Amino acid sequence: MTQLLIRDLAQVVTPITGQAPLRGRDLGRVEVVENAYVLLDGDRIVSVGPMTALGALTGSREELDGRGLSAIPGLVDCHTHPAFAGDRVHEFALRAGGATYDELLAAGGGILSTTRATRAAGQMALDAFVARHRDAMIAHGTTTFEGKSGYGLDRETEVAQLTAIRDAGGIPTWLGAHAVPPEQPGADAYVDWAIREVLPEAAAIAVAADVFVERGTFDTAQARRYLEACRQRGLALRLHGDQLSEMGAVPLAVELRARSIDHLESTGADGVAMLAASGVVAVLLPIAALYLGRPMPPARALVDAGAAIALATDFNPGSAYCESLPVVCTLACTQLGLTPEEALAACTVNAAHVLGLDDRGRLAPGLRADVVLLDATDWRHLAYHLAGDVVHTVIQGGQVVRGPA
């Protein structure tokens, strides 16, 4: 198998080795190697170190010139909604003009507007849409992405969404409890129907299940019933919680030992303390808070209390139309009070942990060969260069999938 040597890099940077997820002070600890190399063999990392430690190599290999570049692990986006049709630009314009959420719903906006378009799209169209969004993520340095369903809310379209995500190389999550579709009489009846009619097929494709706990969607009793049924089918558990209000989502996530609870814009001190004492990862989505003019989630309080955090884009058509984890890192540093080092760990090793993937998120021997080369001699340009064209080369599973323009 041909090796790939990335040589003469200005910096190689990775979160520290050890257990995942990283918490507290460890979240901000990175290993930096100057004038460095990364050696790949197939889809695995062979070695990382200074050029002075690179010994004689045998066998065939390709080389990449890393002069003027820095290397970081491939980014991991652990919360996206890429399987949808249509857009909500009209809703965006109404919100910019001061429309309230209720006014948007009255104008036909919200999740159900995307549901109508997505149901009408069909499998081939959804496949193309997800592939396009995946390619945009790759262009911004994402080498692993999770994708949720939740815009079908019927059996055929939910399964089509999960299939499109899986076939595009994503990690599928069944967000069957995203909203109550109009043909259902209410949330209780819909949860019963989804468990009976959709879960068996969804569980054959998805690796996790998710639920939106919020006023007007699903309460904690309904969420518990849905998630417990999903767990019995072997799915990992995740929750959207505390986005607009605290409704008991954090205690539920802790009780059920969920992989993550995502959003947390409304989480107070008790929720922070509860998460810090648990194994549930707090996935923070600052683009959604920015888009909707909501308070930012309490990232600094969570980290200082010892909670595990991750960062993600929440890419979706209604409240976070952005596929860029570097933009998320900028917001993490400027709005959430995180350091560049903490932001890097939160969208690499900790995000991979949320997805149950322990073979990526760091640059270390034996791990998956996912590497991003940044067009800067200091890796912190990842967060520093707001919306800049900072990603130079993306290597996914040992293959160069994006090169310099």
Kindly report the pTM of this predicted structure: 0.98
Q: Which two tokens stand for residue 336?
A: 């959430």
- At 270-280, the pLDDT tens digits run 999 999 999 99
pLDDT at res. 1 = 64
Residues whose CB falls within 8 Å of the CB of residue 23, separated by 6 or more in sequence, listed in order: 303, 306, 307, 308
Identity of the amino acid at 115:
T
Alpha carbon of residue 370 to chain centroid:
16
pLDDT at res. 100 = 81
Architecture of the structural domain at 3-73+362-402: Roll (2.30)
Is 76-354 the same fold as 3-73+362-402? Answer: no
Regions of the chain with pLDDT less than 70: 1, 405
Per domain, the residue ranges of the chain are: 3-73+362-402, 76-354
Cβ pair 161, 151 in contact under 8 A? yes
Give 47's strand partners.
Answer: 39
Alpha carbon distance 288, 243 (integer Å) = 9
| Alpha helices, DSSP H, located in 307-402 | 325-334, 340-346, 349-354, 381-384
- At 53-91, the pLDDT tens digits run 998 888 789 999 999 999 999 999 999 999 999 999 999
pLDDT at res. 56 = 83
pLDDT at res. 405 = 58
Q: Which CATH superfamily is domain 76-354 in?
A: Metal-dependent hydrolases (3.20.20.140)
Q: Which two tokens stand for residue 183?
A: 């043909």
pLDDT at res. 2 = 82
Sign of the alpha-carbon dihedral angle for 270, 331, 283, 320: positive
Alpha carbon distance 27, 35 (integer Å) = 24
Cis ω before 21 (30° cut-off from 0): yes
